[in-house]
Amino acid sequence: MIPLTAAVFNILLALADGEKHGYAIKLEVENATDGKIHMGPGTLYGSLDRMVKAGLIEESEHRPGADEDDERRRYYRLSQFGRRVLQLEASRLADLVRAAMAKKVLAPT
């Protein structure tokens, strides 16, 4: 499963701090990447569908709050497995960044 695609990694990251519906995930990904990753509806819902089937995320029955909730939307949250995969992928990327810094490809921050 690892390495994850950019879309899957960003969706998992968007869900790391709580459950969200599809459109909120898309907005969060666009904001987090300064619009560099743009997910159209087909890509977004196709990815969500595959991630639910792979057990990375699960549909949530809980709704966040009466005024924020749109009951027609499906909400998603990270599964335990999804959180573990996200951690592994993030640490893999961190290792890569460290290796790039060691070779002075990236300036240390």
Partner 1 sequence: MNPNRARLCYRLLVDCYPLEFRRRYGEEMIRQLDSDWERTRATGTAGTRRFWTDLLLDFAKSWPGEVFAAVPRGIWILLAILAMVDAFALYALNWRLQVIASAVAWFGSLLVACAAYFLRPAKALGLVFLYALVVFFLVRIAPHWLDLRSPDVHTGFALRAFVLPIMAMQGLGFAMSFVLPLKRPGLKANLRCALFFVAPLLAGVSLALAGVAWNFVIWGSTWGLLMPQPLGLVFRAIRHGDLIGKGRPAKR
Least distance to partner 1, CB of residue 100, Å: 29
Q: If binding is defined by CB under 8 A, does position 73 make contact with partner 1?
A: yes
Is the Cβ of residue 73 or residue 92 nearer to partner 1 in the bound state?
73
Q: What are phi and psi of 13, to 5 degrees?
A: -65, -40
Tokens found for residue 1: 């499963």
C-alpha closest to that of 17 among 91, 94, 86: 86
Is the Cβ of residue 38 or residue 98 nearer to partner 1 in the bound state?
38
Q: Evaluate the CA torsion angle 40, 44, 49, 54 in order and state its sign.
A: positive
Are 81 and 55 in contact by the 8 Å Cβ rule? The answer is yes
* Contact code string over 4-43 relative to partner 1, x by CB under 8 A: -----------------xxx--x-----------xxxxxx
Q: By the criterion CB under 8 A, which residues form the site for partner 1?
A: 21-23, 26, 38-46, 48-50, 72-74
